[in-house]
Amino acid sequence: MTDEQMTDEQITSKEERRMFFEMFKNQCFVDLNKRVDLPPIAIGCGSYTSQNSLGLKKVDIPLCTYGNFSFIQAPPKSMKTFFVSLLGSAYCNPNGTHTSGLSSFREGREYIHFDTEQGDWHSQRVFKRIQWMNKTSNLDFYHTFALRKIGFRDRINFIEYYLQSLAVTKKKIGVVVIDGVADLVSDVNNLEESNLVVQKIMAWTTIYDCHIITVIHSNFGSDKPTGHLGSFLEKKAETQIQLERDPNKLGAITVSCKRSRNTPFEQFDFRLDENGLPKLDNPDDVYSF
């Protein structure tokens, strides 16, 4: 069929399609002559010294960067949520007594925490840990939601809606926690739903230039994250963080970088203090490298 034989509706559809893909072409084109900087760090973990033409330079090691996502994996009851609180506390206040060794590059951005598993009482206790760890309630940039009461599709749609609503009000999104990501699908072995969720996460991090931290269980007796969803996360994540209980370190949880697109951070431990709050273990020894 020639253009002369096409209806007005078909011509309009063809033009809309062309404009649609022209938009993609502009968004996705990579200019080899344009300088592209490393993604800025959201939360850092240690540093190293690099030699360049100007001499020695301290380089921060990223645990997570803006425009990417990471995930935390561990067996059940391995204090995943406590570790999320540790990262959140460091992001909100890099000078806190519990997080010495972690660095924050928040710079006025918002911190958002979605809990999908727990009811309001338990969720609020998790959310309030950051207040308790930093001895302050002045955290107007900290947004908290318990999504257990709504279905998995509504959880995805609400997260998308809320991120959009913050962007409309000109608030810059920093770190977003989704604890746990398995509750955004009906079945972690559903290929279509798992792929959709990971694609959504990648799109959100790009659109809002934020970092998303997700949490998922490991398979029983294995260090693989659960289901097809876990496999998709492994392939696409910037950083894969693994938590393990060390039987030789009473009460300690060992945090290691299983995979990273960046310089991997050094392994470290945390444990609960006398008030039941997570605290880095011997940070001066862990980060003196």
pLDDT of 14 reads: 78
pLDDT of 144 reads: 97
pLDDT of 246 reads: 80
Q: What is the 3-state secondary structure (H, E, C) of the chain?
A: CCHHHCCHHHHHHHHHHHHHHHHHHHHHCCCCCCCCCCCCEEEEEEEEEEEECCEEEEEEEEEEECCCEEEEEECCCCCHHHHHHHHHHHHHCCCCCCCCCEEECCCCCEEEEEECCCCHHHHHHHHHHHHHHHCCCCCCCEEEEECCCCCHHHHHHHHHHHHHHHHHCCCCEEEEEEECHHHHCCCCCCHHHHHHHHHHHHHHHHHHCCEEEEEEEECCCCCCECHHHHHHHHHHCCEEEEEEECCCCCCCEEEEEEEECCCCCCCEEEEECCCCCEEECCHHHHCCC
Cβ-contact 43, 66 below 8 angstroms: no
Cβ-contact 143, 111 below 8 angstroms: yes
Cβ-contact 72, 216 below 8 angstroms: yes
- The label of the residue with tokens 């609020």 reads 124
Cβ-contact 270, 86 below 8 angstroms: yes
pLDDT of 72 reads: 97
pLDDT of 289 reads: 27
Which residue in 268, 286, 288, 287 sits closest to 278, CA to CA?
A: 268
Residue 150 has a CB neighbour count (10 Å cut-off) of 14
Per-residue pLDDT tens listing for the chain (289 residues): 444 555 666 556 878 888 878 887 887 888 888 887 778 999 999 888 876 666 778 888 999 999 999 999 998 888 999 999 999 999 999 888 999 889 999 999 999 999 999 999 999 999 999 999 988 878 999 999 999 999 999 999 999 999 999 999 999 999 999 999 999 999 999 999 999 999 999 999 999 999 999 999 998 778 899 999 999 999 999 999 999 988 888 889 999 999 999 999 999 999 999 999 999 986 454 433 2
117: which 2 tokens?
Answer: 């598993």
Q: What is the pTM of this model?
A: 0.87
Task: State which amino acid sits at residue 230.
Answer: G
